[in-house]
Amino acid sequence: MKRRSVLQLLAVAVVVPFGVTACGGADDAKASGTVRVTLANHVWTDGIKAAIPEFEKESGLKVELTQLGEDQLSDQYNVKLNAGSDEVDVMMYRPLQEGKSFARNKYLADLTEHVSSDSGWDWKDFQKGPVTASTFENKVVGVPIITEREVLYYRKDLLEAAGLSVPKTMDELEAAAKKISEDNSDVAGFVARTNKSAAVTQFSSFLYSFGGDFMDDSGQSTIATPEAKAAYAYYGGLLHNYGPANVSTDMSWPEAMAIFTQGNAAFYTEADSLYKNAMDKEKSKIADKVGFAAFPAGPAGSKPYNIPSWGLGINSASNNQDNAWKFIQWATSKERTLEAQKAGVPGPRASVWADPAGISTYPKDLAEAIAFSAENGVGHDRPLVIAVGKAREIVGEPIVTAITGGDSAAAATTSNEAFQKFLDTDK
Amino acid sequence: MTVSSKSEARPRTVAQSSAFSNWANKHRKWLFASPAMIFVGLLIVFPLVWTLYLSLTDSRGSVRAPSDFIGFGNYLTVLSDFDRFWPAVGRTAYFTVTALVVEMVVGMMIALLLWRPFRGEKWVRVAILLPLVATPVAVGMMWKLIFDPNMGFANQMLGWFGIPAQPWLSGQATALPTTIFMDIWQWTPMVVLILLAGLTSLPEETDEAARVDGANAWQRFFFVTLPLLKTTVIVAVLLRSIDALKTFDILYATKGKGGGSFHEVETLNVYAYGLSFDYNEYGLSSAVLIIFFLIIIGFMWILTRRRKGNN
């Protein structure tokens, strides 16, 4: 009895793990008719999620969807793609953030043939900027799905009460923020992202409008130029002087948007693709009081960024690439792009922007601001390097120094050295 | 033929089976432990060896990309980094020691209060244990909302008493103490649990004898209860210090990558995570983790030596 029990237990201990492994293997083998799609939490994702049953019916394929927050998505890719995993077929990624690094590491499949094979789907219809951002060494590695420009969100009622018109220049914006914050003790004149890394993308439009940039054509750091220093001082100064009380240096868009939509700020500069958050009556206390305007002009004019914020790519390790392409082709078709755009997601297709139905759901002032920014915009909102995360931390340093009332010019000089050192090794 | 071969084969099989059973019974200690040992090997030893290997290479961008063996280059880089690494070591030590001391003192006080039976004891125990069952990320998110500088409940409450709003998590000087407070809130109950288990197993006679000899409550605690409880206290210190050293969830959930814009809560764990997942510097990150591992091993060695000495 004793002997038998030892043997029985051993048998169970040895067989169980293998049994479990065998089950996993069987599941993998069946997966060819299933497209595994990983998407970020976004308004675009909400729309596509609702439409997936249509795709499944048309194609006969099954879609297995994983949805994650931006940071978690990025971490998941780092783990899975690094391990060469084939668990992801279609991946939603940020061409300007991870695009270069992913393409360089050969994580993204070459889609050049796919995009040029179907004239009805029409790759030429995609705007030039987004296409450039999704191309690496002359190979198309992604299809853009969402575009963004920075615009000015403002409170119509507060401006009216103060007898002010919508600011068109940086000076007017500062003067208006000052007046409104002085007139209303519980309302900040201005709010925007404050976290060192998160703020970089929104700060970029200020930088360009002051005549600066992160680096020049030869790859040299330019964040300590007089223009850049003026931009740092202006952006940080607005938040330091007229920002929310106890302004933190941790705010990304959800926190800054919350302050604006709770009615605690007069002006807010942010991506246009997030406008639904401000206009949603269930989430926003000021839904019917929000106005939109083109990005205010600095000494170099109004130069907001105009970028593709998200794209769809195919994991190069996936064994299901043809079906993955079918999903991308459907999700980025003219019809789906129009639907997404009508639901509030600015898309990358020229034909959809040309179609009056494409902007029929947008507030008139926002549509005008978008049209203006699309014409004057700059094609990047962060340094175009491989290790973008590290670069953002370095160039973001003077922003938080300025927000906390420190010497941002000195911080820019220090960061400039660090950034140049980084650029020399970012290969 | 068949019958004869069967009759020949049967005794052999039984003999073999019995020989194996004998062998299995003789080595059952190892046989039972072997699945666990295989898993430990796969899940602990292999990653550790792999991390050690990575720490000796210049791996960055992708782990699969070709990398060169650079010896202790990463260790030199890390150990000479006074901007991020050493401040992170300091924060890790500050976080661990402060959280540990407060948790032990408060935990001991609560355990002593709960030691003797009283009315409603069960309810109080359940209430005290509640923070333990919450996920650290959820705890972090909850406190982040409470400590929001403008809309949070903490500052509203201060306002009722006329106290000005505090920056809590958003202040450079206050962020780390605030996260330590969260750790104390969540983990003191575990200390209470361990100490209470130790207290209830103490013999009552010694306490009674001290009482008869006229010792007051303080004297009884310091000269009778505490020395008897020493082993339990060291177990609690050991468990809590390991946990506090490797705290990550609360810090990441409240301040994000880099431990905030000024790295104000960046401990060694947060630093290593950022190096891997934000910077893709796998060689450097592995070096930090190996150094961190050695620090923990060293710390545990000192504590366990003390414990042995006490025994």
pLDDT band at A15 (very low <50, low <70, confident <90, very high): very low
Cβ contacts (< 8 Å) between A107 and chain B: which residues? Answer: 62
Cβ contacts (< 8 Å) between B260 and chain A: which residues? Answer: 249-250
CA-to-CA distance for B156 and B149, rounded, in angstroms?
A: 9
CA-to-CA distance for A340 and A349, rounded, in angstroms?
A: 11
> pLDDT, tens digit, for every residue of A197-219?
999 999 999 999 999 999 999 99
The residue that leads in pLDDT, A399 or B202, is A399
pLDDT band at A296 (very low <50, low <70, confident <90, very high): very high
Of A10, A17, A249, the CB nearest to B24: A10
Q: Do A150 and A270 meet the contact criterion of CB atoms below 8 Å apart?
A: yes
CA-to-CA distance for B285 and B273, rounded, in angstroms?
A: 7
Give residue B306's pLDDT: 64
> What is the 3-class SS of A91-111, one letter each residue?
EEECHHHHHHHHHHCCCECCC
Give residue B118's pLDDT: 82
Q: Model ipTM? A: 0.82
> pLDDT, tens digit, for every residue of B259-282?
999 999 999 999 999 999 999 999
Of B20, B150, B257, the CB nearest to A245: B150
CA-to-CA distance for B128 and B192, rounded, in angstroms?
A: 9
> pLDDT, tens digit, for every residue of B84-143?
999 999 999 999 999 999 999 999 999 998 888 888 888 888 888 889 888 989 999 999
Residue B5 has pLDDT above 60, yes or no: no
Q: Categorise residue B256: left if φ over 0, alpha if ψ from -120 to 50, beta otherwise.
A: left
CA-to-CA distance for A151 and A359, rounded, in angstroms?
A: 16
Task: Give residues 97 to 116 of A whose Cβ lies within 8 Å of B.
Answer: 101, 104-105, 107
Q: Lowest-confidence range among A29-33, A299-303, B55-59, B295-299?
A: A29-33
Please count the helices (runs of H) and the strands (runs of E) in chain B: 15, 0
Q: What mean pLDDT comes out for the span A359-386?
A: 91
Listed ranges A290-294, A353-357, B202-206; the one with the highest mean pLDDT: A290-294
CA-to-CA distance for B265 and A217, rounded, in angstroms?
A: 37
> Taking CA B17 as the corner, what is the angle to CA B11 and CA B23, rounded to the nearest 5 degrees?
135
**B63–A contact, CB cutoff 8 A:** yes
Q: Do A358 and A386 meet the contact criterion of CB atoms below 8 Å apart?
A: no
Of A249, A252, A396, the CB nearest to B170: A249
Cβ contacts (< 8 Å) between B172 and chain A: which residues? Answer: 404
**B261–A contact, CB cutoff 8 A:** yes
State percent of chain A over pLDDT 90.
82
Return the bridge partners of A151, or none. Answer: A270
Q: Do A242 and A181 meet the contact criterion of CB atoms below 8 Å apart?
A: yes
Cβ contacts (< 8 Å) between A14 and chain B: which residues? Answer: 35
Q: Lowest-confidence range among A373-377, B35-39, B82-86?
A: A373-377
Residue type present at position B236: A
Q: What mean pLDDT comes out for the span A355-371?
A: 93
For A400, which residue in chain B has the nearest alpha carbon?
B261
Q: pTM for this one? A: 0.85
And the tokens for A112? 């050049």
For chain B, give the mean pLDDT. 89
CA-to-CA distance for B145 and A221, rounded, in angstroms?
A: 38
Residue B78 has pLDDT above 60, yes or no: yes
Give residue B13's pLDDT: 64
For B148, which residue in chain A has the nearest alpha carbon?
A248
Q: Crossing angle for the helix pair B46-55 and B282-310, nearest 10 degrees?
A: 130
Give residue B10's pLDDT: 54
Nearest Cα of chain B lies from the Cα of A252 at a distance, in angstroms, of: 10
CA-to-CA distance for B93 and B99, rounded, in angstroms?
A: 10
- The answer to whether the CB atoms of A247 and B170 lie below 8 A apart is yes
CB pairs A-B closer than 8 Å: 102
CA-to-CA distance for A103 and A306, rounded, in angstroms?
A: 22
> pLDDT, tens digit, for every residue of B49-70?
999 999 999 999 888 888 999 9
Give residue A13's pLDDT: 40
Residue B175 has pLDDT above 90, yes or no: yes
Q: What mean pLDDT comes out for the span A158-162?
A: 96
DSSP code of residue B45: I
> pLDDT, tens digit, for every residue of A111-144?
999 999 988 999 999 988 889 989 999 999 999 9
CA-to-CA distance for A241 and A262, rounded, in angstroms?
A: 20
Residue A371 has pLDDT above 60, yes or no: yes
Sign of CA dihedral A185, A187, A190, A193: positive
**A197–B contact, CB cutoff 8 A:** yes
Q: Lowest-confidence range among A119-128, B203-212, B301-310?
A: B301-310
Cβ contacts (< 8 Å) between B176 and chain A: which residues? Answer: none
Residue A163 has pLDDT above 80, yes or no: yes
The long-range contacts involving B75-80, CB below 8 angstroms and separated by at least 24 positions, are B75/B287, B75/B290, B75/B291, B77/B284, B77/B287, B78/B284, B78/B287, B78/B288, B78/B291, B79/B291
The long-range contacts involving B126-130, CB below 8 angstroms and separated by at least 24 positions, are B128/B189, B128/B192, B129/B189, B129/B193, B130/B189
**A57–B contact, CB cutoff 8 A:** no
> What is the 3-class SS of chain A, one letter each residue?
CHHHHHHHHHHHHHHHHHHHHHHHHHHHHHHHHEEEEEEECCHHHHHHHHHHHHHHHHHCCEEEEEEECHHHHHHHHHHHHHCCCCCCCEEEECHHHHHHHHHHCCCECCCHHHHHHCCCCCHHHECHHHHHHCEECCEECCEEEEEEEEEEEEEHHHHHHCCCCCCCEHHHHHHHHHHHHHHCCCCEEEECCCCCCCHHHHHHHHHHHCCCCCECCCCCECCCCHHHHHHHHHHHHHHHHHCCCCCCCCCCHHHHHHHHHCCCEEEEEEEHHHHHHHHCCCCCCCHHHEEEECCCEECCECCCEEEEEEEEEEECCCCCHHHHHHHHHHHCCHHHHHHHHHCCCCCCEHHHHHCHHHHCCCCHHHHHHHHHHHHHCECCCCCCCCCHHHHHHHHHHHHHHHHCCCCHHHHHHHHHHHHHHHHHHCC
Q: Going along chain B, which residue ranges are E strands? A: none
Residue A5 has pLDDT above 70, yes or no: no
Q: What mean pLDDT comes out for the span B297-306?
A: 81
> pLDDT, tens digit, for every residue of A305-332?
999 999 999 999 999 999 999 999 999 9
The answer for residues whose C-beta is within 8 angstroms of residue B46's C-beta and 6 or more apart is none
The answer for residues whose C-beta is within 8 angstroms of residue A26's C-beta and 6 or more apart is none
Of A74, A105, A196, the CB nearest to B62: A105
The SS3 assignment for B208 reads helix
CA-to-CA distance for B219 and A247, rounded, in angstroms?
A: 50
Q: Lowest-confidence range among A5-14, A247-256, A386-395, B65-74?
A: A5-14
End-to-end, the C-alpha distance of chain B in Å comes to 70
Residue A90 has pLDDT above 70, yes or no: yes
The SS3 assignment for B87 reads helix
Least Cα distance to A58 among A318, A343, A323, A321 occurs for A323
Residue B216 has pLDDT above 70, yes or no: yes
Cβ contacts (< 8 Å) between B261 and chain A: which residues? Answer: 194-197, 249-250, 396, 400
Q: Lowest-confidence range among A17-31, A160-174, A314-328, B65-79?
A: A17-31
> pLDDT, tens digit, for every residue of A375-387?
888 989 999 999 9
Q: What mean pLDDT comes out for the span A144-155?
A: 96
For chain A, give the mean pLDDT. 90
The long-range contacts involving A177-184, CB below 8 angstroms and separated by at least 24 positions, are A177/A238, A177/A242, A177/A266, A177/A267, A178/A241, A178/A242, A180/A266, A180/A267, A181/A242, A181/A266, A184/A158, A184/A266
**A30–B contact, CB cutoff 8 A:** no
CA-to-CA distance for B111 and B194, rounded, in angstroms?
A: 9
Q: Do A335 and A117 meet the contact criterion of CB atoms below 8 Å apart?
A: no
> pLDDT, tens digit, for every residue of A47-67?
999 999 999 999 999 999 999
- The answer to whether the CB atoms of A101 and B151 lie below 8 A apart is no
CA B84, chain centre distance (Å): 23
